[in-house]
Structure 1
Amino acid sequence: MIYTVTFNPALDYVVKMDSLELGMVNRSKSETIFYGGKGINVSTVLKNIGVDSVALGFVAGFTGKEIEDGVKTMGVKTDFIQLKNGLSRINVKIKAEQETEINGQGPDIKKDELQQMFDKLDKLQSGDCLILAGTIPASLPSDIYEQIMEKLMNRNIDIVVDATKNLLLNVLKFHPFLIKPNNHELGEMFGVVLKSDDEIVEYAKKLQVMGARNVLISMAGDGAILITETGEVHKIGVPKGTVVNSVGAGDSMVAGFTASYLKDHDYMEALKRGTATGSATAFSEGLATADKVEELYKQL
């Protein structure tokens, strides 16, 4: 079974308008609500492509109930922890001439509530896969990813980490199955600007030396590069299409790659599926659907 963790899920309130004028009353053209959070995105896309997962995380208050109910309505299995106090956050995303985001802080998570998460994770079994994605709320220890991975060491559980900078670098010693920085994030980790595929491969291999098993580098319109634990280097382009939504594209790539690899244990096939799934989200208003993924997969 695949499990995803979203520490700080949100209701994403997307508002479209012709223009945004500060200090004035603005009128929207449309509003849409999505159930946000990187782990939730991964679980949603997995469900859309016919793969079951369990979404773990913390929810609070009436907004938390709406998140859990909404995710269940989409067919995703959930095992969220209900916090005693606070409210799950609302993120306001304004799409006008430019995109503007106001992201909420989210509720405090107490030590006993965090222990409930550890108890749930302790029930994972050999052959399961855990996907850790996104930032960490201020109320949690900054090394929470490390704590989780240390507890699950030597249990034959594949762990995927989609995070940035030190949050990612600090978990490499626990040998995650897959990490997925983009090319800009990869450069930031080493304080360099990467200008060629050869440089991207060079620095991705440094992450392997530090402990990562497989490194998937997403490069937006330039495709992706995968360096496998067997020493293979694969590069792939992207299918044709118009980008209308970048939110969740990286999460979708993780979902497509992970689902494909766990099924066929073929890295190149997983790279193709991951790329098609990420593109399916980028070329759509919402998250990738199975039909869109298949359409784009045929181009690769």
Structure 2
Amino acid sequence: MIYTVTFNPAIDYVVRTDGPFVPGQVNRSAQEDYQFGGKGINVSLMLARLDCPSVALGFVAGATGSWLEQGLQAQGLHSDWIHLPGGMTRINVKIKAQTESELNGRGPDITPEAMEQLYAKLDALREGDILVLAGSLPGGLPSNTYRRILDRLAGRGIRAAVDTAGEALAAVLPARPFLIKPNHCELTALAGRPLTTQTEIEAAARDLQQQGARNVLVSMAGDGALLVDETGAVHRMGCPQGRVVNSVGAGDSMLAGFLAGWLQSGDYACALRLGTACGSATAFSLGLADRAGIDRLLRTLQHDA
């Protein structure tokens, strides 16, 4: 079973305008929508579209938390939320005009008692399960929180996939996660130097592997993706043709596709191919991609492009 953890889920309020967004003035929307999200939630939703079951774990609070919980339940998502005593699940405002702007909410505080409830749920995981830790950590939690979770699960045969950035990502490397998925910008920040060529990106990915990560999957937007797998092999996949209309959830879709592909085939090249198809299909869609869009792109992709 795959378990995803979203520490700070959100309701994304998406507003589209016909013209440019002008700060300091009244702007009117041409179209509005809302999406229940958070990186771990996005992974679980995409896994469901790939017929790969998962359980979404995390924290919700207040009336917005109830809305999110009910909305995801209506979509058939299997979840097991921890209800926080105060605050409210955050709302993120996404403005899509000539450029994209975002205003992300802070989210509720996670109490020590709530963290103990999460640990109890994670203690029930079994050998062979996959744990996805995705997204930034909310304020009030230390940057080594993901590392503490991996240390707690060490030696139990549980594979961890971590999609975060900065100190939180650097902290988990010695715990030897099964997979990390930095994007190009996150990899550059960790490397502390510009990464402008495929050779430089590969070298930086290998550096993270030497620090402990078993597999390093780097998403590079329009330049596709690169994977350095635990055997030392390097796999590259170009990006299929299409018009990008949405950046929200593309990386999460890639992660979900990669995990589903690996579970189905046991082959890293196949996993990268499905991951790229999922990530690109979401980038070409207004929300998370549907199965038809994924399958259509999958037929156009070749291994090691």
Aligned to 2:8: 8
Alpha-carbon distance in 2 for matches of 1:120, 1:189: 31
Aligned to 1:175: 176
Alpha-carbon distance in 1 for matches of 2:146, 2:127: 19
Alpha-carbon distance in 2 for matches of 1:209, 1:19: 46
Report the alpha carbon displacement of residue 21 of structure 1 after superposing the two structures with TM.
3.0
Aligned to 1:289: 290
Alpha-carbon distance in 2 for matches of 1:41, 1:14: 16
> Which residue identity does 1:13 align to in structure 2?
Y
- What is the TM-score with the length of structure 1 in the denominator? 0.98
- What is the TM-score with the length of structure 2 in the denominator? 0.96
> Which residue identity does 2:46 align to in structure 1?
V
Report the alpha carbon displacement of residue 96 of structure 1 after superposing the two structures with TM.
1.9
C-alpha contact (below 8 Å) 2:144/2:167 kept by paired residues: no
> Which residue identity does 1:95 align to in structure 2?
K
C-alpha contact (below 8 Å) 1:184/1:193 kept by paired residues: no
C-alpha contact (below 8 Å) 2:126/2:156 kept by paired residues: yes
Aligned to 1:68: 69
Question: 2:262 is paired with a residue of what secondary structure?
Answer: helix
Question: 2:66 is paired with a residue of what secondary structure?
Answer: helix
1:268 aligns with 2:252: no
Aligned to 2:151: 150
State how 1:217-232 maps to structure 2 within 5 Å: 217-232=218-233
C-alpha contact (below 8 Å) 2:128/2:158 kept by paired residues: yes
For structure 2, the residue ranges without an aligned partner over 5 or more in a row are none
Question: 2:245 is paired with a residue of what secondary structure?
Answer: coil
For structure 1, the residue ranges without an aligned partner over 5 or more in a row are none
Alpha-carbon distance in 1 for matches of 2:181, 2:257: 13
Alpha-carbon distance in 1 for matches of 2:238, 2:165: 23
The range that moved more, 14-23 or 155-164, is 14-23
Alpha-carbon distance in 2 for matches of 1:55, 1:227: 28
State how 1:186-265 maps to structure 2 within 5 Å: 186-265=187-266
Report the alpha carbon displacement of residue 142 of structure 1 after superposing the two structures with TM.
2.2
> Which residue identity does 1:34 align to in structure 2?
Q
Query: Over aligned residues, Cα RMSD in angstroms?
Result: 1.0
How many positions carry a matched residue from both structures? 300
**Percent pairwise identity:** 54
Alpha-carbon distance in 2 for matches of 1:49, 1:40: 14
Shift in CA distance, 196/140, structure 1 to aligned 2, threshold 3 Å: same
> Which residue identity does 1:295 align to in structure 2?
R
> Which residue identity does 1:297 align to in structure 2?
L
CA deviations 1:30-73 (Å, max 9, x no partner) are 11000020000000111112111000000001100111111111
Report the alpha carbon displacement of residue 22 of structure 1 after superposing the two structures with TM.
3.0
